[in-house]
Structure 1
Amino acid sequence: MDIKSSRENDSDEVSQEKDNAPIHLEAKDGKLSKQQKIEEVEAAVTDPNVTLESFAHLDIKKIHRKMDLRLIPMLALLYLLSFIDRGNVANAKIEGLSEDLNLTGTQYNLCLTVFFFTYAAFEVPSNMLLKKFRPSIWLPTIMVAWGVVMTLTGIVQNYGGLLAARIFLGVAEAGLFPGVVYYNTMWYTRYEVQVRQAYFFSAASIAGAFSGLLAYGISFMDGVGGLAGWRWIFILEGILTVVVAVIAYFVIYDFPETASFLTPEERAFVVYRLRYDGQDVAADGQRVAQNEKQDWKSVKAAFLDWQIWINIFVYWGYVCPLYGVSLFLPTIIKDLGFSTTSSQLLTVPPYVVASVLTILVAYAADKRRIRSPFIMVCFVFQLVGFIMCISSGTFGVTYAGVFIAACAIYPTHPTNLTWLSNNLAGSYKRAVGVAIQISMGNMAGAMASNFYRSKDAPRYILGHALEIGFICVGMIATTILILSYDRINKKRAKRVANGEHVGFTPEELSDLGDRAITFRYTL
């Protein structure tokens, strides 16, 4: 029996024994409700006679192609629009937003800051609601909400109006990023998922490039309908978001158990691989249904997990620079003596290169099954970039420094997100843990919003110095995690070698999740 797979995961390395009959489920999807499909898959993957050999006749590469084509493009588009809508205020600023709204002092920075307060506050609740309402309902709904807010931002008349718009934009956008990160882990095993995270996150770097080009084009609408060009940036991009959101209701799939584009056998295979991903005895079992008591137990476990809180400092190490670049790059370039048009266009190249590197790093990390070395290397290049920015006030050196930093920042993000999700076992704990990481981590955006003050132009020494400080914090936190994971893995290996795992049932190991002695942390 030939297994059509490259065997990228340990869980795929099955024997070729002939006496294990393949599983065959009836193709009667049209007659089954979603609940019946879930029950059918659950019955198949919990059957003690079913092993990976039972699915040996399936082609995993073909299944992955199906999943990639139907999931990733829409997720990338959603995040592209999300990142454009939160960052286009930087493009609007150099088109006259501050002058027209009579913003003074630090008012612009405060408008950037408040976004992150509500954005952080609503991420954990949003991921919990995602499980309740399903991705195909929840993600498009919040997208409609932020599209409406973005459109209305185009008609604000003063500082108070802009401040309120940014507050509500944070509420509406909060659920998308942690939701998609968690959503991907429900389809792909832990050494397949970073490439997919990179595909959709590369949309963020593309957004930086596209936002500059789009703002450049829309700026020519200045005066149309009696509205300034910067207002049209918000209005048109907000309307586009709402249109895409309506389409998303019909094209986003929920989870593998009910995916109509997979055959019943393929659905069972995907769920089976996920359930036994990470260790030998199902410690990462992802139950199709969990009762409320188990869910709240997982929430508590996530909030008390040491690795999440240390990882937040890793997150701050690159997200502060990320928002520093995305929110202030047009202004930094303009203050070096360039026109508004040139400033918009010069933001494009760093983002294009960063998007390519994000995907290349993800492929390498998944292939080698490691995360932390790539994170550390990226931190080093970020450090080099900002040191160049702080050391010179000339355009060439500053632009080169920002270019290098941006190219290192964007690959770090999906690598670190995948690193933590790899090391959180259990569906619900992972959903909450990733949301905690992102919500607390994005408080860095609130800090970074105030790093680059107008009075520090054109060199912005304080802003660059603070970015350097956070990068160093991220490097220290990464080192702590590496040493801790390595120590725990070695200790667990000794316990397994002594046969201590034999005293646990698969159900007990499943309940222990990443605390089970058979679980190995990804380095």
Structure 2
Amino acid sequence: MNEPCSINASNRRDASSSLDGQPDGLTEHEVDDNPNLPLLNSRRYPSATDSALLPLENTIDDEAANKVLVKIDRAIIPLLFITYMLNFMDKVILSSAAVFGLREDTHLKGQQYSWVGSVFYLGYLLWTYPTTVLVARLPTGKYLTFNTLFWGLVVALTAACHNFGGLLVVRFLLGVAEATITPGFMFLTSTWYTRDEMPTRVGIWFSGNSVGGLVASLLAFAVGHVDGSSIRPWRWMYIILGTTTFMWAMPLFFLLPDNISEAAFLTPKERIIAAQRVVSSGTGTTEHSTWKWDQVRECFIDPKSWFIVGIELFTQIPNGGSQSFANIVVGSFGFTNLQSTLINIPYSLLSAGIISGSGYLAGRFRTLNCILIAVVIMPCVIGSAIIYKRGNVPHSIHLFAYFLLSSGSAAMPLNMALVQSNYRGVAKKMTITAMLFITYCVGNMAGPHFFLKSEDPLYETAFKAITVCYSLATVCAVCLRAYLKGLNERRTREEGVVGSAGSGGVVRDVQGQDSADPESDVTDWQVVGFRYRL
């Protein structure tokens, strides 16, 4: 599987070498001694007659760029982290609510609870592609704020539900409201950060998931002790979380900028530096771009897109089921409702540590991403297999097996980092983002339905399916790495230059700015020197 022959080195746009001046896998001395693999040290600019070659000049001062990076981290990452933490809490509180009276008070029967878990992802699925397009076209910060307000309102209204139909409506609307958040955060991360910085930053804000799970468990434990109130504990959970999310949208509106050029926390000079960083070593500018349908088509015929979709599908089918049934499964090990809630605290801490650590390693080493996906999935294969065969293992091992599942949540941010680092072109990036989250929805919709009511509390079918899915995800990750490695080697042979997985391959003018020419919004297939992170 290769790129189409019509798109080759002869018609790609020139790309820069990485900011550190050294291509992947070779030292500076080795490059100097290898005349067959020159560093790409010039840029080609299209003109009416022919292309003119200009010398590459790095106009970014490293010290100034580092100061700007620190300011960006302080201003952007906390906002994304807290919002993502609330996002996850509002989504997973259903599992705690289920053991504190929700199923009884709303008269759920048979597979109805599974449908309450799944319908969230139906709303998410239907709104994913439209909202992904809107993220690129509307003021991003304001659009994310509006969605946060809406989802907070929907969560609070969940407390008013008294039947299956009411729960279906609010869960569907919650899926619609939250469909914007993760694609929007991926877009923001690619707007502000370079390819080397993206995996670590994604890992940080995505770990808000696990911290949110920890806080949600503490909240459920505290509210679960409330006695004598006319309002049932599960209703208090939704009221508290919905109100908190709604209020959080207020500071988000004022603090989250729509783009680099409107960032109030940066001076005019710092905004230029911030933009130059992404142009030199990011995946291209996201401002003043137009939607290009040829990039959409290219995304669909790009083989790496389908490996990424495979990883997402086979990790999210297990996620959808285990997320909705977490406390119920732990309860089947012999723990009380309150104990089940507390057990998810160390589970969340483990998950947060693995997400952050794997994100750091993926950002630090350009060839580890796919390997890390396989590494974080393998404990899940073992854990789910043990739970599936729990009748044949000592009772004390059951909880250990459950904790092994905590590493699986790190696969998604690693997969997202591959998307952010390995795709150029606004329309192409947003299309693969939509594909990723449509697959996310399909997997999470399907997951709860493997937990059959007739198999309660052992759920043999569910854990057999989880074991198989995680195994297939590992295969997809290994195949993706082999494909990308082969593609990098092929590009080096065809281009005659040593590229870099830290280079953005962005066309710049003499001042180091994005070219005003509309063709500056080009894809990874159309640049020279661009190498894929493995």
Provide the residue aligned with 1:402 in structure 2: 402
Superposition deviation, residue 469 in structure 1: 1.1
Matched, 1:143 2:152: no
Q: Using the TM superposition, give the Cα deviation of residue 318 of structure 1 relative to its aligned residue in structure 2, in angstroms.
A: 2.0
Counterparts of 1:144 and 1:509, CA distance in 2? 37
Deviation at 1:68, TM superposition (A): 0.9
Aligned counterpart for 2:355 among listed residues 358, 371, 377: 358
- C-alpha separation between the residues in 2 aligned to 1:91 and 1:113? 16
Q: Tell me the secondary structure at the aligned position of residue 450 of structure 1.
A: helix
Matches within 5 A, 1:300-311: 300-311=297-308
C-alpha distance in structure 2 between counterparts of 1:130 and 1:338, whole Å:
44
**How much has 1:333 moved relative to structure 2?**
1.1
Counterpart selection for 2:273 from 256, 266, 269 = 269
Query: Equivalents in 2 of 1:102, 1:498: separation in Å?
Result: 66
Mapped to 1, the partners of 2:97 and 2:506 lie a distance apart of 59
Aligned to 2:376: 378
1:191-230, aligned counterparts within 5 Å?
A: 191-224=196-229, 226-230=230-234
The residue aligned with 1:34 is none
8 Å contact from structure 2 (residues 285, 521) kept in 1: no
Relative contact order higher in (CA < 8 Å, ≥ 6 apart): 2
Look up the match of 2:244.
240
Aligned-residue offset at 1:316: 1.9
Equivalent residue letter for 2:240: L
Verify the 8 A CA contact 2:322 2:448 in the aligned structure 1. Answer: no
Q: How far has the Cα of 1:197 moved from its partner? A: 0.6
- Give the counterpart of 1:122 among 112, 116, 127: 127
Indicate the percent of aligned positions where both proteins have the same amino acid.
25
Cα offsets for 1:226-282 (capped at 9, x unmatched): 22111111111111110111221111122222222222232222212212326xxxx
Tell me the residue number matched to 2:417: 418
2:461 aligns with 462
AA at the equivalent of 2:436: Q
SS in 2 for 1:286: coil
Q: 1:287 to 1:366 in 2, by over 3 A?
A: closer
Aligned residue number for residue 5 of structure 2: none
1:50/1:108 CA distance change after superposition, 3 Å: farther
SS at match of 1:220: coil
Partner Cα separation in structure 2 for residue 200 and residue 207 of structure 1: 11
1:323 aligned residue: 320
List gaps (5 residues or longer) in structure 2.
Answer: 1-15, 23-52, 499-504, 508-516
Alignment check: 8 A CA contact 1:11 1:273 kept: no
Displacement of 1:49 in angstroms is 9.2
Shifted more, 237-246 versus 453-462: the winner is 453-462
SS of 1:221 mapped into structure 2: coil
Q: Is the 8 A contact 1:309 1:437 kept in 2?
A: no
Unaligned runs of 5+ in 1: 1-8, 16-47, 279-283
Number of aligned residues: 470
Q: Deviations over 1:339-379 (max 9, x none)?
A: 11111111111111210121111111111113111111112
The one-letter code of the counterpart of 2:296 is V
Which whole-Å CA distance do the structure 2 matches of 1:427 and 1:128 have between them?
10
Determine which of 166, 170, 175 is the counterpart of 2:171. 166
Assess if the C-alpha contact under 8 Å between 2:284 and 2:506 holds in 1. Answer: no
The superposition leaves residues 308-340 of structure 1 with CA deviations (integer Å, 9 ceiling, x where unpaired) of 222111012222233333221111111222111
Which of 495, 499, 523 is the aligned partner of 1:513?
A: 523
| Aligned equivalents of 1:253, 1:98: Cα separation in 2 | 41
Q: Do 2:60 and 2:277's aligned partners in 1 also have CA atoms closer than 8 Å? A: no
Residues 491 and 332 (structure 1 numbering): CA distance in 2 closer, same or farther, change over 3 Å?
same
> For residue 404 of structure 1, what is the amino acid of its counterpart?
L
Shift of residue 65, structure 1, vs aligned partner: 1.4
Task: Please tell me whether the aligned partners of residues 285 and 426 of structure 1 are also in contact (alpha carbons under 8 angstroms).
Answer: yes
Q: Relative to 1, partners in 2 of residues 1:273 and 1:448: Cα closer, same or farther, differing over 3 Å?
A: same
3-state DSSP of counterpart to 1:449: helix
In 1, are the aligned partners of 2:65 and 2:277 still within 8 Å (CA)?
Answer: no
For 1:443, give the aligned amino acid.
V
**What's the CA shift for 1:142?**
0.6
Shift of 1:150: 0.8
Distance 1:149 1:508, change over 3 A: closer
1:107 to 102, 105, 112: 112
Q: Comparing both structures, which one devotes a greater share of its residues to helix?
A: 1
Distance 1:310 1:466 in 2: 20
Residue 90 (structure 1) shift:
0.7
- Per the alignment, residue 86 of structure 1 pairs with 91
CA distance in 1, matches of 2:305, 2:453: 35
Partner Cα distance (1:133, 1:385) in 2: 43
**Superposition RMSD in Å:** 2.5
Aligned position for 2:390:
392
Q: What's the offset of the Cα at 1:57?
A: 6.1
Contact preservation (8 Å) 2:315, 2:470? yes
State the distance in 2 between where 1:409 and 1:92 align: 23
Shift of 1:304: 3.9
Compute the TM-score of the two structures, normalised by the length of structure 1: 0.84
